[in-house]
Amino acid sequence: STWGPLTPEPAPPRRAMSSALIIFPLVGGILQSTALWMFKKLFTIRRQMSDQNPRQPVLPYYAFPVWWFAIALFVMTALFAAIPKKGSNSTSMLELTLLVTSLLYSQFALKEALNLRDFLSYLTVILGTVLSLWVVDEVEVSLILFVLYIFLLIFAILLCFLAWKYIASQLGERSLAHPESVKQRKALPVVLAALVALLQGLIYVPVVVFISAASKQIVAVVFLFAIGFLAATAVEIVILHYVLHDFDLCYVVCIFATTQRLLDFGITGLFGGFKGKSLVLYLILPIIGLTLMIVGSIILSVRENCSEYRLLEMNAAAQTVPGFVA
């Protein structure tokens, strides 16, 4: 027995997304990148305020209007990604636009300097995203596979949570910017990115399956979509909020995009999404693309991506090198 297709109206596997619909994920990627830039800029400003007046408490995030505006942009992003339903995966198009726009924000607005190696590794992640545009497609979910999927995701989420707690225990009272916290700085973004992808997978797939089963009940469909959408978006905002506070935008975007693609590819393979599809578009190119994304993210992780640590290094250099300008 099957739960039916994940979308009520499955599209032909190689039909291109219409020019009218493709604008939504493209605009969504720009909006999401803008929201992440606003979050990162706000965190930087609050850190500067704290450094200038250590004894004066800094205002909470929700006291800044830009924080609410960024939240609204992020919610709009998720809606834009959900609009196109046919052809090339809209989530992949959104992530591609997000990567490109975030690189511009990182270099010109946030001044997160990338050397040639870092820049090439970032471009490698972008190229991998292009090659894996067809990672996700409509699939049919058997009851056994659906139960197995839920069990595997819960187990993986538990492992990520334990890894997060282990990193926190290793840090102890040290901050991430402490010179001895190198391993923790490298591991934490990867663990949290995986946690976001897994939690969203645990939320979205059951919701979409139940929506397909109750497709004739309009009220139930709207209710399930609203619950799933709000829960998945809230999870992403909360954890991204946490990671962006300590790490550079360019690195966070690459790590999150890579882990999301890996999970999507795994879901497609687990649910038989490659059956009857183009071997090149749905299997060979995505495998090459995912490999490039992983390699690019690993090389980029060699860079010191902790914002506070780099700031401390710059301040130390300013004190020891005459004429140094941070």
β-partners of residue 306 are: 247
Dihedral sign computed on CA atoms, order 123, 128, 130, 133? negative
Residue with tokens 């992983």: 294
CA–CA separation, 180 vs 313, rounded Å? 14
What is the model's pLDDT at position 7? 42
pLDDT digits (tens, 9 = 90+) for 96-140: 999 999 999 999 999 898 899 999 999 999 999 999 887 665 556
pLDDT > 80? residue 187: yes
CA–CA separation, 296 vs 124, rounded Å? 5
- Binned at pLDDT 50, 70 and 90, residue 61 comes out as confident
β-partners of residue 140 are: 5
What is the torsion angle, in degrees rounded to the nearest 10, for the CA atoms of residue 126, residue 124, residue 139 and residue 17?
Answer: 30
Left, alpha or beta for 243 (phi > 0: left; psi -120 to 50: alpha)?
alpha
**Reduced to 3 states, what is the DSSP secondary structure of residue 247?**
strand
pLDDT digits (tens, 9 = 90+) for 34-51: 999 999 999 988 888 887
Q: In the predicted model, what is the mean pLDDT of the chain?
A: 82
CA–CA separation, 137 vs 134, rounded Å? 7
pLDDT digits (tens, 9 = 90+) for 248-275: 999 999 999 999 889 888 877 777 667 7
Residues above pLDDT 70, as percent of the chain: 83
pTM exceeds cut of 0.75: yes
The distance in angstroms from the start CA to the end CA of the chain is: 63
Q: For residue 233, what are its two tokens?
A: 């978006």
